[in-house]
Amino acid sequence: MSLDQLYQQIILEHSKARHGSGLAAAEAPAGASSGQSHQLNPTCGDEITVRVSVAGGKVSELRWDGDGCSISMASASVLTDLAEGMTVEELRAVIDSFREVLRSRGKVAADPELLGDAAAFEGVSRYAARVKCAMLSWVAAEDALGQALAA
């Protein structure tokens, strides 16, 4: 299996089995500061609400609800798996790295050591119209994280 095929498989699997989905049915963890952000991609109609909870300087939970294309839903699922348990600084570094890769138009390679399964979205960077799809949950998480820290 080629790397591109592996990356496509990761995206397909996460778009079907959405990790972290179910925000509406889950209460924020007790004792954690939480922030929530709703983002919309008017270009294609993707929509997501992300809640980030922080306790002891670490992301204790990331939950979301959304509707959209496979890329946006898979990206939110992968983000959930990465974010939970990270320190605030680690999550910010991962978000920055993901953003840099996606905005590079294929010029910056994803670091799988840092991005884990999110490296699968590297190919999306060559399709400007799809970058917003992949970034939507990450932008929401960044905003929600800022709110959680300000609370």
Q: pLDDT grade, residue 3 (50/70/90)? A: low
Residue 7 vs residue 109, higher pLDDT: 109
58-70 pLDDT, tens digit each: 999 999 999 999 9
Nearest CA to 57 among 97, 92, 95?
A: 92
Average pLDDT over residues 120-129: 92
Q: pLDDT grade, residue 8 (50/70/90)? A: confident
Neighbours of 27 (CB within 10 A): 8
CA distances (Å), origin 5, targets 120, 121, 123, 128: 10, 12, 11, 21
Q: Give the predicted TM-score (pTM) of the model.
A: 0.94
Total domains, the chain: 1
Average pLDDT over residues 75-85: 97
What's the sign of the alpha-carbon dihedral 139, 93, 149, 59?
Answer: positive
Which domain range does residue 8 map to? Answer: 3-150
Q: What is the CATH number of the domain that holds 98?
A: 3.90.1010.10
